[in-house]
């Protein structure tokens, strides 16, 4: 199987993935590849059906800005950011 190093559009995490998996994820997220954590968070956001995050693109944008915010502070992990997002 073909393995490719791919980078998460949200948090910048790099992962070795099969090309099949990469294209599968890209199909779901408007041509962007998200790591497991980020895609999970975006999916949650979409499933909750918030008015502002009712589609994948909106949810992805929300999650990306959250990721960027927490990336600037290495003490806070993405998981913490997600917990905060769920509380909102």
Specify the stretch interacting with Zn ion by CB under 5 A; choose among 9-17, 22-30, 40-48, 50-58: 9-17
Binders of Zn ion among residues 31 to 50 (CB under 5 A) are 35, 38
82 binds Zn ion per the rule CB under 5 A: no
Q: Report the distance separating Cα 33 and Cα 39, nearest Å.
A: 8
62 binds Zn ion per the rule CB under 5 A: no
E runs forming strands in the chain: 3-7, 14-18
* Nearer to Zn ion among residue 35 and residue 60 (C-beta): 35
Cα torsion 34, 39, 45, 49: sign: positive
Q: Report the distance separating Cα 53 and Cα 61, nearest Å.
A: 9
Footprint on this chain of Zn ion (rule: CB under 5 A): 8, 10-11, 13, 35, 38
């Amino acid at each position: 199987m073909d393995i490719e190093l791919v980078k998460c559009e949200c948090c910048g995490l790099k992962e070795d993935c099969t090309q099949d998996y990469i294209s599968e994820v890209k199909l779901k997220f408007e041509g962007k590849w998200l790591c497991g954590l980020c895609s999970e968070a975006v999916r949650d956001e979409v499933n909750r059906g918030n008015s502002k995050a009712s589609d994948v693109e909106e949810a992805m944008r929300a999650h990306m800005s959250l990721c960027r915010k927490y990336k600037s502070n290495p003490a806070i992990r993405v998981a913490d950011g997600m917990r905060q997002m769920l509380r909102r």
